[in-house]
Amino acid sequence: MYRILFSLAFILHFSYGIYAQETTFYQDVAVINGISEGLPTASIDQITIVGDTPTATTSSGQYEWKNSKWISKKNGDSPTPLPKYKGLPIEAGKVLAATNYGNTNYLGCENGLYVKIGHNKWKQELPYDQNYSWALKEVAALTVDSKGRLWFGAKQGVGRLEKGQWTLFTGKEGVPYNRFTSAASGPTGQVWFGTENGAFKVEDDKFFYRSNRRWLPHNHVNDIAVDVEGTAWIATQNGLAQIISKEMTYADKATHFTNQVEARHNRMGFICQSHLTEQFNINTSQLAISDNDGQYTAMYGAAQAFRYAITKDPKARELANRSFFALKWLVDITHEPGFPARVIIPVDWHEPVNEQYSKEYNRRHQKNDPFWKDIFPRFPLSEDGNYRWKCDTSSDELAGHYFNYGIYNDLIAETKEEKDAVKQVVADVTDHLIRHGFKLVDYDGKPTRWGSFDPDYFNSIWGWDQRGLNAMMMLSFLNVASHVTGDPKYDEVAEILREKENYDIYAMHAKEFFPPENAVPWDNNLGLMSLYGLINYEKNPERQIMYRIALENAWLHISKQKNAFWDGLYGAMAGFFTKKVDEGFFKPEELFIENPLFAKASIDRYYKSSLDNRYMTETLQRIPLDLIGYDMDNTHRLDIQLDPTPGQVKDMGWGNDTYSLPIDERGHVRLDRDATVLHDNEGNGYAEHEGTFYLLPYYLATYHNLIEP
């Protein structure tokens, strides 16, 4: 974790500048302290800060923070118990917390909040505001913030007293949990609360929940102290966490993630996640392979292409080129022109890849998944004998490839070699699909499991639910091919699919959203990346209107997921449409003449984007710098509402604002997952994910002027 902090400090001094005045924000970073930093294995019972020195008190003694280590403090004091308070009514119960406010004492007790009103006299406070009136229980947290306001944490929720007026907060207002243990105030008005299940910060009436191993070594918080820099020192039953807020810019963060990808996620030019041999330790990172190396490499290449278009940084151009030629290699290595492999690995790869997918494995797998393809070897040998490539390529891969092809062609390809290369690979892949009746056909002469884009498949019992997405994707591939190659045959093929097979009508419902088992989140990536090429390169005004309707239908179903990539793609494409309207591209009186009112009504309705970019900027700012996959459980929270959709699996839900929880509080950092999953696990600390999931939405949004940079 210290490597992240060092890298961040370096970035803040040396990151490149894109704009004269850049947006700044505060990035929370967690540093976990345990045995390796000098703490004992015992519970950290108390944390105090005297001057600039944090002191941790444990059952085995006290420890001082010096030179980034905890040093045993000789003759350290034991925790100071709360004194006995004379005159406190017996019905108040045990004293749980105490503070001074307004030159008097406040006590948090088992059965109420009490204020001293005279010599050995106490009065019970009954806080109320316009929404609530409380007789408090279990008032275990009290503090006074730097703005002179009293705060409590009790069973009912959180309260703030300012100028004699109470403001009360429950789960509805954002309180995530209510079994309090402690509270502490920071230098700029922020207040931290410790609970038996995580900690949270309140700042400007916004709540930031910090729980699970992403933020804490243990969820039971014993005590919190905040230093003059605003760093929260959080003592738990198993170690201590520092949560540091660092001011940075979007460009600073992009530099951090580009460095992260290049250091730990680049395998022969392919972008991949990494496996950690030691839980939570990025120093034990090993490059991994996945089914979607092509898609993830395409996304990284697109990010660098947008970066180059914005900054003209030659390094960005180099990385975009490297990614494109890696994608081209996936196509060039296989059994016939135009079939892209999923993965390429050296022949001496350390895992026994074919043995994992034996004939016996395939037959067993088909018992639970009847569409699983029985093909062996799944990793054929390359013609030169130096590599293996993975077959059974899916529509996910094609969506990534074509998304990259168009962007690479438009923003990067300058030399004859580059232009010829992109034209060739686009023609090869598209011609393969056409030659095989709109199917990806494997080396066994049969279609891949997820590679069917043909009319017979769409009209079958097993393909009808895919026809909207796959028909739209096929039209997108043809539009990209027409744009990149300039060959009119691709427009002619697309016209046949539209006029004879209704592909454009199918494309208007490009995503299934019900029943829940059909609504897999990565299909949103496929759909929106493919719509980007379809809408961007469509020349017919009637179809532009149809595809704009398809875009709105697809995005509205996911618009509350706080997904910066999906929001960015939607905003960019909605912007394409708005620009065409402003340029006079549409002549409503000449369109859809069988219903002369339809074109104008649609143009008026969809002229303006419905994007609220607040949620895109929130996600970009709050994507953690640490992309290790942690187990994150939010099912206990008070500020959520469960998804009542019939047939929905359990543990799905939203924040009480009806949007998904912020990304740094969720169980995933990848922007191809369902943000409404309340208990999620992306590797349980044994996987680090690639920074593309920040880089692509950031550079995409900046290029399309969707955020204030």
pLDDT digits (tens, 9 = 90+) for 654-696: 999 999 999 999 998 899 999 999 999 889 999 999 999 999 9
Q: Taking 50 as the threshold, does the pLDDT of residue 2 lie above it? A: no
pLDDT at 12 over 60: no
**Residue 378: C-alpha distances to residues 95, 108, 264, 389, 491 (Å):** 66, 65, 26, 8, 35
Evaluate whether 1-249 and 284-703 have a shared fold.
Answer: no
Looking at 3.30.43, 1.50.10, 1.20.1070, 1.10.260, the CATH number of the domain 284-703 comes to 1.50.10
3-state secondary structure of 44: strand
The mean pLDDT value for 316-345 works out to 98
- Find the farthest-apart pair of alpha carbons in the chain and give their distance in angstroms, rounded: 94
Dist. CA 121–CA 105, nearest whole Å: 11
Question: Please, are residues 337 and 432 in contact by the beta-carbon 8 Å criterion?
Answer: yes
Alpha-helical regions (H) of 333-394: 353-356, 359-368
Share of the chain above pLDDT 90, in %: 88
Half-sphere exposure of 5 (CA within 13 A, CB side): 13
Tokens of residue 251, six digits: 């460009």
pLDDT at residue 227, as a whole number: 96
Mean pLDDT on 401-415: 98
Which comes out higher in pLDDT, residue 75 or 624?
624
Tell me which residue of 202, 200, 276 sits closest to 665, measured CA to CA. Answer: 200
Percent helix, strand, coil in the chain, to 5, is 40, 25, 40
pLDDT category, 487, cuts 50, 70, 90?
Answer: very high
Q: Name the residue type at position 416.
A: K
14 pLDDT above the threshold of 60: no
What is the mean predicted confidence (pLDDT) over 403-425? Answer: 98
Higher-pLDDT residue of 618, 668: 618
Q: What is the dihedral of CA 84, 107, 81, 118, to 10 degrees?
A: -40
Q: Rounded to whole angstroms, how far apart are CA atoms 330 and 388?
A: 11
Q: Is 457:466 a contact under the CB 8 Å cutoff? A: yes
Q: What is the three-class DSSP state of 576?
A: helix
pLDDT at 82: 80
Q: What average pLDDT does this structure show over 594-603?
A: 95
pLDDT tens for 16-68 read: 444 457 899 999 999 999 999 999 998 999 999 988 899 999 988 999 999 99
Residue 491 CB neighbours (<10 A) = 15
The pLDDT tens digits of the residues spanning 275-309 come to: 999 999 999 999 999 899 999 999 999 999 999 99
3-class SS at 658?
coil
Whether residue 388 is predicted with pLDDT greater than 80 in this model: the reply is: yes
Helix (H, G, I), strand (E, B) or coil at 108: strand
Q: Does 312 have pLDDT greater than 50?
A: yes
Extract the tokens encoding 103: 């030159």
Q: How confident is the model at residue 15 (pLDDT cuts 50, 70, 90)?
A: very low
CATH superfamily of 1-249: TolB, C-terminal domain (2.120.10.30)
Q: What is the pLDDT of residue 117?
A: 94
How many Å apart are CA 139 and CA 294, to the nearest integer?
54
DSSP 582-599: HTT---GGGSSTTSTTHH
Contact 362, 353 (CB under 8 A): no
pLDDT at 13 over 50: no
Q: How confident is the model at residue 3 (pLDDT cuts 50, 70, 90)?
A: very low
Residue 311 has pLDDT above 70, yes or no: yes
77-81, 142-146, 666-670: segment of lowest average pLDDT: 77-81
Q: Where are the domains of the chain?
A: 1-249, 284-703
Strand partners, 441: 447
Backbone angles phi, psi at 505, to 5 degrees: -70, -45
Contact between residue 446 and residue 374 where contact means Cβ atoms under 8 Å apart: no
The answer to whether the beta carbons of residues 403 and 533 sit under 8 Å apart is yes
